[in-house]
Copies of this chain bind each other. A is one copy, B any other.
Amino acid sequence: MEKLAVLGCGVVGSGVVELFEKNKALIQKRCGKKVEMGYILDLRDFPDRPYADKLVKDIQVILNDPDVTVVAECMGGIDPAFDFVKSCLEAGKSVATSNKELVAARGDILLKKAKEHNCNFFFEASVGGAIPIIRPLHKCLAANEFSAIAGILNGTTNFILNKMIKENMDFAAALALAQEKGYADKDPTADVEGFDACRKICILSSLAFGKHVYPESVYTKGIRDVELRDTKICGLLGYAIKLIARVQKLENGKILPAVMPMAVEEDNLLSQVNGVYNAVMVRGDGIGKAMFYGRGAGKFPTASAVLGDMIEELQLDHTIPSQTWENVHDNDFIENFASFSAKYYFRTSSTDIAVLNEVFGQIGEQIICTDDGETVFLTENPLNERELDAAVKALAQKGVQVLAQYPILES
């Protein structure tokens, strides 16, 4: 009988084991074959768990058992996850991972390894938790040339922004609540600074456009500076400030990935994604646009995605050509962020409309004067980074400060 193995018995790993045991009969039916949980690798002991007899501490036990055909990697981090996954693939055992750090940093190497050994490196769980997005992108939508992807890919920051928007909490209070509820780590840097969302848009960009996009090549700005005042005013204007991870294909053939807080119009479903939920909007020449929505994290949602990969692998006997991307040594296909262009929301320290008109042209109907010496407005035309810089400098020369600025997500 074929056996599964799980590396790492933390939240996700134990979820994989428990969900598998719960729905074993159903899963076997859907696979079309008998399969059992063979091993769970962890250096810790869990003597009270029902699956304690399956715990092993040495990866060799798994590598040496020919009945193990599919392995889940739920350890997180690069080391030793990378070496373990590589060894599994070299032994012809397919791997399903929930580890976005690993995929974003070394996906190209592991995908190549999988192809060489006629097995698969799956990573549905690495982006959007429970949301099916990886398989839809490279299978269901495989006939499309993609033009853009934009998503809310980090539940923690979405929870924080949501509390600011809906319950008037400021950033610090909302972060403290997220930590209290276990949605944010003690050190919330990876979430709050956008690094986690960045890894995920790297994975989606790599898959959609066929070349490995490294996190270092992606402009990334987090939500630490988002002020309650702007979430409120944006709301009045019919926008929600969301941490958006996005990539677009430009007319010159290059792609432009970025992560930053953006103002999202209320007609756009992404603006309605609340709490710890995630969503991904995809544009392609066949489909127009499609959106995928669900729980971005959590024990069983993530385990569901890992097991979905394992179940597919149990039905396969070969590597999947569409699920891969190239390992590239230069970044020529990535456009510099200086070319990023969008309409903007501005809040400035002046109510002198003449000055604002001078710098931005007629700001006209888009203007909203607030009552304490500030002006809020939306630009009528898109600005690129150079134009944005020039405008900010021109205002400064006239003694006007830009207090807040958010690009508006294209609809």
User: Which A residues fall within an 8 A CB radius of B?
Assistant: 19-20, 22-23, 26-27, 29-33, 124, 130-132, 135-136, 138-145, 210, 267, 269, 272-274, 284-295, 298, 300-301, 303-305, 307-308, 310-312, 315, 317-318, 320-322
B130 touches A135 (CB 8 A): no
Nearest Cβ in chain B — how far from A306, in angstroms? 8
B143 touches A303 (CB 8 A): yes
What residues of chain B lie closer than 8 Å to A289, measured between beta carbons? Answer: 294-295
A30 touches B142 (CB 8 A): yes
Number of copies: 2
Give the residue of B29, B130, B210, B285 whose beta carbon is less than 8 angstroms from that of A300: B285
Nearest Cβ in chain B — how far from A111, in angstroms? 13
9 interchain residue pairs of minimum CB distance = A32-B321, A286-B304, A290-B294, A132-B140, A143-B307, A132-B136, A130-B287, A291-B293, A30-B322
B286 touches A140 (CB 8 A): no
A142 touches B308 (CB 8 A): yes
Alpha-carbon gap, A272 to B315, bound state (A) = 37
In the complex, which of the residues A210, A287, A300, A303 has the most CB atoms of chain B within 10 Å of its own CB atom?
A287
Closest to A125 in B: B140
Alpha-carbon gap, A292 to B286, bound state (A) = 17
Closest to A300 in B: B286
In the complex, which of the residues A19, A27, A141 has the most CB atoms of chain B within 10 Å of its own CB atom?
A141
What residues of chain B lie closer than 8 Å to A300, measured between beta carbons? Answer: 285-288
A285 touches B22 (CB 8 A): yes
6 residue pairs from A and B, CB less than 8 Å apart:
A32-B322, A139-B308, A141-B308, A285-B300, A286-B300, A289-B295
